[in-house]
Protein backbone atom coordinates (compact mmCIF):
# COMPACT_ATOMS: atom_id res chain seq x y z
CA UNK A 1 0.00 0.00 0.00
CA UNK A 2 1.40 3.37 -1.01
CA UNK A 3 0.73 6.28 1.32
CA UNK A 4 0.51 9.65 -0.36
CA UNK A 5 2.05 12.69 1.30
CA UNK A 6 -1.29 14.41 1.98
CA UNK A 7 -2.68 11.21 3.58
CA UNK A 8 0.38 11.00 5.79
CA UNK A 9 0.03 14.66 6.77
CA UNK A 10 -3.65 14.12 7.61
CA UNK A 11 -2.87 11.08 9.73
CA UNK A 12 -0.06 12.94 11.53
CA UNK A 13 -2.33 15.93 12.21
CA UNK A 14 -5.00 13.61 13.61
CA UNK A 15 -2.44 11.92 15.88
CA UNK A 16 -1.09 15.17 17.29
CA UNK A 17 -4.42 16.99 17.51
CA UNK A 18 -5.17 15.83 21.05
CA UNK A 19 -1.66 15.65 22.45
CA UNK A 20 -1.37 16.08 26.22
CA UNK A 21 1.25 18.71 27.01
CA UNK A 22 0.65 19.61 30.67
CA UNK A 23 1.72 17.78 33.79
CA UNK A 24 -1.85 17.76 35.12
CA UNK A 25 -3.03 16.26 31.83
CA UNK A 26 -0.40 13.54 32.09
CA UNK A 27 -1.41 12.80 35.68
CA UNK A 28 -5.08 12.63 34.70
CA UNK A 29 -4.36 10.31 31.77
CA UNK A 30 -2.19 8.09 33.94
CA UNK A 31 -4.69 7.77 36.78
CA UNK A 32 -7.47 7.00 34.30
CA UNK A 33 -5.24 4.34 32.65
CA UNK A 34 -5.39 6.14 29.31
CA UNK A 35 -2.75 6.76 26.65
CA UNK A 36 -0.16 9.26 27.90
CA UNK A 37 -0.06 11.07 24.53
CA UNK A 38 -3.72 11.44 23.51
CA UNK A 39 -5.53 10.58 26.76
CA UNK A 40 -8.17 8.63 24.84
CA UNK A 41 -6.81 5.17 24.07
CA UNK A 42 -6.67 2.45 26.68
CA UNK A 43 -3.28 1.69 28.23
CA UNK A 44 -3.89 -1.84 29.51
CA UNK A 45 -5.00 -5.04 27.79
CA UNK A 46 -5.34 -6.96 31.08
CA UNK A 47 -5.09 -6.08 34.74
CA UNK A 48 -1.45 -4.96 34.49
CA UNK A 49 -0.56 -6.05 30.94
CA UNK A 50 0.17 -3.16 28.59
CA UNK A 51 -1.23 -3.00 25.10
CA UNK A 52 1.40 -2.96 22.34
CA UNK A 53 0.25 0.50 21.19
CA UNK A 54 -2.57 3.02 21.56
CA UNK A 55 -5.59 2.21 19.40
CA UNK A 56 -6.33 5.94 18.96
CA UNK A 57 -3.05 7.69 18.23
CA UNK A 58 -0.74 4.74 17.57
CA UNK A 59 1.79 5.51 20.33
CA UNK A 60 4.06 2.50 20.78
CA UNK A 61 4.16 1.56 24.46
CA UNK A 62 7.56 -0.10 24.08
CA UNK A 63 9.16 2.78 26.00
CA UNK A 64 7.10 2.04 29.11
CA UNK A 65 8.92 0.35 31.96
CA UNK A 66 7.44 1.19 35.33
CA UNK A 67 9.34 -1.64 37.03
CA UNK A 68 8.48 -2.15 40.70
CA UNK A 69 7.87 1.56 41.36
CA UNK A 70 4.07 1.40 41.64
CA UNK A 71 4.17 -1.65 43.91
CA UNK A 72 6.74 -0.07 46.23
CA UNK A 73 4.72 3.15 46.67
CA UNK A 74 1.56 1.15 47.30
CA UNK A 75 3.26 -1.18 49.81
CA UNK A 76 4.46 1.77 51.88
CA UNK A 77 1.04 3.46 51.79
CA UNK A 78 -0.90 0.25 52.45
CA UNK A 79 1.47 -0.74 55.23
CA UNK A 80 0.98 2.58 56.99
CA UNK A 81 -2.81 2.36 56.67
CA UNK A 82 -3.20 -1.26 57.76
CA UNK A 83 -0.62 -1.25 60.55
CA UNK A 84 -1.92 2.05 61.91
CA UNK A 85 -5.51 0.84 61.87
CA UNK A 86 -4.55 -2.50 63.44
CA UNK A 87 -2.61 -0.80 66.23
CA UNK A 88 -5.44 1.61 67.00
CA UNK A 89 -7.95 -1.26 67.02
CA UNK A 90 -5.73 -3.35 69.30
CA UNK A 91 -5.18 -0.50 71.76
CA UNK A 92 -8.83 0.58 71.91
CA UNK A 93 -10.72 -2.74 71.70
CA UNK A 94 -8.28 -5.64 72.38
CA UNK A 95 -10.04 -7.99 69.92
CA UNK A 96 -9.05 -11.67 69.49
CA UNK A 97 -6.63 -12.58 66.70
CA UNK A 98 -9.34 -13.96 64.41
CA UNK A 99 -11.00 -10.51 64.39
CA UNK A 100 -7.71 -8.96 63.30
CA UNK A 101 -7.47 -11.51 60.48
CA UNK A 102 -11.07 -10.89 59.44
CA UNK A 103 -10.56 -7.12 59.40
CA UNK A 104 -7.08 -6.64 57.99
CA UNK A 105 -6.71 -9.35 55.35
CA UNK A 106 -9.54 -7.99 53.16
CA UNK A 107 -8.28 -4.45 53.76
CA UNK A 108 -4.80 -5.47 52.61
CA UNK A 109 -6.23 -6.88 49.38
CA UNK A 110 -8.26 -3.72 48.72
CA UNK A 111 -5.55 -1.16 49.48
CA UNK A 112 -2.87 -3.01 47.52
CA UNK A 113 -4.66 -4.27 44.42
CA UNK A 114 -7.10 -1.36 44.08
CA UNK A 115 -4.60 1.42 43.35
CA UNK A 116 -2.01 -0.76 41.58
CA UNK A 117 -3.34 -0.30 38.04
CA UNK A 118 -3.87 3.50 38.26
CA UNK A 119 -0.45 3.89 39.91
CA UNK A 120 1.23 1.93 37.11
CA UNK A 121 -0.63 4.08 34.58
CA UNK A 122 0.54 7.20 36.41
CA UNK A 123 4.17 6.07 36.41
CA UNK A 124 4.04 5.34 32.67
CA UNK A 125 2.34 8.66 31.90
CA UNK A 126 4.93 10.59 33.92
CA UNK A 127 7.70 8.62 32.23
CA UNK A 128 6.30 9.68 28.84
CA UNK A 129 5.68 13.29 29.89
CA UNK A 130 9.22 13.78 31.19
CA UNK A 131 10.75 11.79 28.31
CA UNK A 132 12.45 9.47 30.78
CA UNK A 133 14.75 6.81 29.38
CA UNK A 134 17.42 4.46 30.60
CA UNK A 135 20.63 6.22 31.46
CA UNK A 136 23.63 5.53 29.31
CA UNK A 137 27.06 5.61 30.90
CA UNK A 138 30.16 6.74 29.09
CA UNK A 139 28.52 7.76 25.83
CA UNK A 140 27.34 11.03 24.43
CA UNK A 141 24.66 12.77 26.49
Query: What is the rounded CA–CA span in Å between residue 54 and residue 45?
Result: 10
Going by C-beta distance under 8 Å and a sequence separation of 6 or more, which residues neighbour residue 104?
A: 82, 85, 86
Q: Which tens digits make up the pLDDT trace of 68-119?
A: 999 999 999 999 999 999 999 999 999 999 999 999 999 999 999 999 999 9
Q: Name the residue range of residue 34's domain.
A: 18-129
Domain membership of residue 134 (yes or no) is no
Tally of domains within the chain: 1
Phi-psi region of 17 (alpha: psi -120 to 50; beta: other; left: phi over 0): alpha
Query: Roughly how many angstroms between the first and final C-alpha of the chain, as a whole number?
Result: 38
Evaluate whether residue 77 is within a structural domain: yes
Residue 140 predicted with pLDDT over 80: no
Give domain status of residue 1, yes or no: no
Whether 12 is in a domain gets the answer no
pTM here is 0.80
Least Cα distance to 71 among 20, 112, 28 occurs for 112
Q: Can you name the residues that pair with 53 across neighbouring β-strands?
A: 60
Residue 50 lies in a domain: yes
The Cα angle at residue 109 between residues 53 and 99, in degrees rounded to 5: 175
Give the start-end residues of each E strand in 1-141. none
Confidence band (pLDDT; 50, 70, 90) for 134?
confident
Q: Are 52 and 60 in contact (CB under 8 A)?
A: yes
**Is residue 139 one of the residues assigned to a domain?**
no
Domain presence at residue 44: yes
Residue among 58, 12, 17, 14 at smallest CA distance from 35: 58
pLDDT tens per residue across span 8-41: 544 554 555 678 999 999 999 999 999 999 999 9
Name the nearest CA neighbour of 107 among 87, 82, 89.
82
Domain membership flag for residue 3: no
Amino acid sequence: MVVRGDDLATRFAAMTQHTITTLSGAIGAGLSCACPRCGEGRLFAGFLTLRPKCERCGLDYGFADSGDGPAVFIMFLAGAIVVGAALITEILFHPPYWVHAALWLPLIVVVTLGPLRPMKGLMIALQYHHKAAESRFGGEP
